[in-house]
Structure 1
Amino acid sequence: MTTTTDPSYVDPALINPRAVRLVEAFKNALARLRDEDGLTFDDLNAVADLLQRIQTATGAPLALVAMPLYSELFQGGQDGYTPSEDVDSPTYIPGSPRIDNPGTLPMRPDEPGTPLIASGRVLDGHGRPLEGAKLDIYHAADNGNYSGLYDDGVLRYNLRGHLFTDSDGRYAFTTITPVAYADPHITAVDGVAEAVAALGRSLYRPAHIHYEVHHPDLITPWRGEIYFKGDPVIPVDFVGGTLAPPALQADTVLHEDPEDIAQHGFQSPYRTMEFDFILKTRTSPDTITPKATPA
């Protein structure tokens, strides 16, 4: 028996007013770009075609490939708190090993790169330390690759680990200094270099370390990337030229004194990096002075 369905019928229970409103707002935004900035249908097709070719080359979901278009829009942490990304990083892998505090991220015996000692504190909006905050930490190797994402013989959790802050909210770990990198899968796609250059951007991402911070008192977990102050790649970041505001840039120092190097157990110059996270908890004020000095 065949059931005839009224083709004009839409179940009212399935209508999502928010979805309707967002689609209309998106179309209105495109219309403004058409009328005020000369957006054409060919422009949209060119963007869609390039994204599709990147997706084919990388195997990444199309939504992830489009991240450079919208990543700068979704960054929280307003009102003076450390800005946080509201999107998950595609390079995150759960289950990293726990390290001591201070400790050392897992790495190969001959891990290339300049040694780095990273440290700082995790504080609430009153400047009080968050004891027992879990920091998931990871970053790319000296060649720009993240462990566990490629079949390259590198251990799954190389340069990945987590630790817990002490009673003063402090953390410290040793690793190697990240460097700027470009994804070879993306750079090999025809048209990418020209499209990026047309936007005044580089094919490279600035050096950075990924963190996720979890604590029962936090309103939401913190996730994002910490960059290095003075990195010339930051203003032309492939993903977004404003993705690394000053509030996410850490101070770094190069240490070259032979005695200092030897005391820290290194064979060559090393760097130190200081960064404090100021995060909103359930008892924090709504607004604080940016980079407020802890009490």
Structure 2
Amino acid sequence: MTDTSYVEETAARAAASGQSATARFRERSIEGATADRERVSRLASRVIKAINDTVIDERVTYDEYNALKAWLIKVGEDGEWPLFLDVWVEHSVEEVANDHRAGSKGTIEGPYYVEDAPTLPWNGTVPMRDDEPGRPLLFQGQVRSVDGTPLPSAKIELWHADNLGFYSQFAPGLPEWNLRGTFIADDDGRFEIHTIEPAPYQIPTDGACGQLIAAAGWHAWRPAHLHLKVSHEGYELLTTQLYFPGDPHNDDDIAGAVKPELILDPSPRANGDGYEVVYDFVLDPQ
């Protein structure tokens, strides 16, 4: 990696990343989506009541109330609502959405997914720079149905942070599709993806979310992880993340997204070129 590229990448700021995440979310939002009025009334009333109950129970002062208003305004100005919601709320939504699954465990998508990553063969290499830093990783496995049937041509979307903890399209100096790819499984539902092991990282801390973390005395760390979406016609989409053993933040991930079933078991490759890991995906029928 060139020094110029490194400097640009590490100059990433929360506001720029947040605005990108907000723009991506708006692009993917369903136009004209509606919700049942009774459901909206019930949910909004419960949230508002919970806030008011907290104010009364904790005897919130006007200074604290005004500090909250100023902070909420800054969350919007920094474009960090996707980050805030995906870090502190999405894990509960995901739990409700997937509690019926018999197949592989899912977890949160997070704010850094981008659709339509380059399509590659089942045994391809994720797009990366010629001098991409990081330990090589061969990620392989099979996509099957809950009844054990292999799912040929299943789609595996993979994206993850680089060795410095940054995502392409959300930090400057990175190629557009760096460490993002869509892989099509073979006739037996198998895949072999060549990538690099990502690094743990802190969520952006120079914006509104960082202010909350500092004020509360929390940490901002997410453990190293691979993001995946696995799909096949006639089956439920699986959105998940996979983690690496020994990461100190597997037990206290700020996003609360780690599950025991999502911890990988990598081992050194026989040829000495980094590590390899086998992880199969089991999809539920629609």
> If the length of structure 2 is used for normalisation, what is the TM-score?
0.75
The answer as to 2:260 corresponding to 1:279 is no
The answer as to 2:271 corresponding to 1:229 is no
In the TM superposition, what whole-angstrom CA distance separates every residue of 1:221-266 from its partner, at most 9, and x where no partner exists?
22222212332212221222xx1111222221234x6xx22xxxx4
Q: After the TM superposition, list the runs of 4 or more consecutive aligned residues in structure 1 that deviate by more than 6 angstroms.
A: 187-190
Q: Could you say which residue in structure 2 is the equivalent of 1:249?
A: 263
What is the CA distance between 1:211 and its match in structure 2? 0.9
Q: Could you say which residue in structure 1 is the equivalent of 2:5?
A: none
Report if the CA contact (8 A) 2:143-2:280 is conserved: yes
RMSD, aligned α-carbons: 2.8
Separation in structure 2 between the aligned mates of residue 177 and residue 210 of structure 1, nearest angstrom: 12
Report if the CA contact (8 A) 1:214-1:222 is conserved: yes
Of 137, 148, 170, 2:169 maps to 148
Q: 1:194 to 1:150 in 2, by over 3 A?
A: closer
Of 77, 99, 106, 1:84 maps to 106
Residue type of the alignment partner of 1:155: P
Q: 1:32 to 1:276 in 2, by over 3 A?
A: farther
Q: 1:248 to 1:46 in 2, by over 3 A?
A: farther
Q: Counterpart of 1:102 in 2: which secondary structure? A: coil
Aligned length: 247
What is the CA distance between 1:180 and its match in structure 2? 0.2
Superposed counterparts of 1:175-190, under 5 Å? 175-186=195-206
Q: Counterpart of 2:172 in 1: which secondary structure? A: coil
Separation in structure 2 between the aligned mates of residue 22 and residue 184 of structure 1, nearest angstrom: 29
In the TM superposition, what whole-angstrom CA distance separates every residue of 1:134-173 from its partner, at most 9, and x where no partner exists?
1111111111111122332x21011111111122221111
What is the CA distance between 1:126 and its match in structure 2? 1.1
Of 190, 203, 213, 2:220 maps to 203
Q: Could you say which residue in structure 2 is the equivalent of 1:65?
A: 84
Of 137, 141, 150, 1:129 maps to 150
Unaligned runs of 5+ residues in structure 1 are 1-13, 283-295
Report if the CA contact (8 A) 1:140-1:178 is conserved: yes
Larger radius of gyration: 1
What is the CA distance between 1:70 and its match in structure 2? 0.8
Separation in structure 2 between the aligned mates of residue 239 and residue 177 of structure 1, nearest angstrom: 20
Separation in structure 2 between the aligned mates of residue 111 and residue 232 of structure 1, nearest angstrom: 24
Superposed counterparts of 1:88-99, under 5 Å? 88-99=109-120
In the TM superposition, what whole-angstrom CA distance separates every residue of 1:53-77 from its partner, at most 9, and x where no partner exists?
4554xx3242543332212211143
Q: Counterpart of 2:44 in 1: which secondary structure? A: helix
Unaligned runs of 5+ residues in structure 2 are 1-34
Of 154, 173, 185, 1:165 maps to 185
Separation in structure 1 between the aligned mates of residue 175 and residue 40 of structure 2, nearest angstrom: 43
Residue type of the alignment partner of 2:217: A
> If the length of structure 1 is used for normalisation, what is the TM-score?
0.73
Residue type of the alignment partner of 1:215: H
Report if the CA contact (8 A) 2:244-2:265 is conserved: yes
More helix by share: 2
Residue type of the alignment partner of 1:273: V
Residue type of the alignment partner of 2:228: Y
Q: Counterpart of 1:67 in 2: which secondary structure? A: helix
